Amino acid sequence: MDPALFVRGNTVVTAPPLVPEIRLRLATEITPIWQATEETLARSALPPPFWAFAWAGGQALARYLLDHPAEVAGRSVLDFGAGSGLVAIAAAKAGAARVLAAETDHFAAAAIAANAALNDVAIAVRTTDLLDTIDPRWEVVTAGDVCYERPMADRVTAWLRGLAARGILVLLGDPGRAYLPREGLVERARYLVPTSRELEDRDTRDGIVWEVLSERAPIGG
């Protein structure tokens, strides 16, 4: 199946509630797109369609970049685990010189390309796994909603700390996932994000933007 056709056929253009400036192709309900993906999954080994939803951590991170454009203006940004491309698009709108969205799911890559076009921004997409790699061109690295599974959270956190140790600004958006690290984070901003009970266990979540430190200092400094 053509990923671009799948994205267009299973989403509608809408705006995340916390970031109305950005339009995305998103699923209106979780069950139909999950079932559609599972049908294709048997043939193509697709991961779940996480890219079809604007998760709370990503919305908070996107809101923060739009409200604080100086963090990325004129800089090279990597958005890791980019999903729909929401945070990457926010970085581009905030004036980043270059934005690279890293996402191993080819359907997500198609969604990012479609969403970038919707918002008239230029975003490069890389589908190779960049975890544990370093590029001297990266000046800011963002990651939203990556702490939902322990193995992934542990690997990503260690990698992000290593990037911070090299002087890269590392920003993590998270709504209180179970495997968020308990140290080495400084809160930059907090937003109340409207959510769906299909995706979360409540109607709103606190989307927090953390700066990841190279040292394992207690949260808050």
Domains of the chain by residue range: 3-212
- Fold of the CATH domain 3-212: Rossmann fold (3.40.50)
Check whether 120 has a pLDDT greater than 60.
yes
Percentage with pLDDT > 90 across the chain: 75
Cβ 66 vs Cβ 37: under 8 Å: no
Closest by CA to 97, choosing from 69, 71, 77, is: 77
Residue 163 CB contacts under 8 Å (≥ 6 apart), including other chains: 134, 138, 141, 170, 212
Lowest mean pLDDT among 33-37, 108-112, 204-208: 33-37
pLDDT band per the 50, 70, 90 thresholds, residue 6: confident
d(CA 46, CA 216): 36
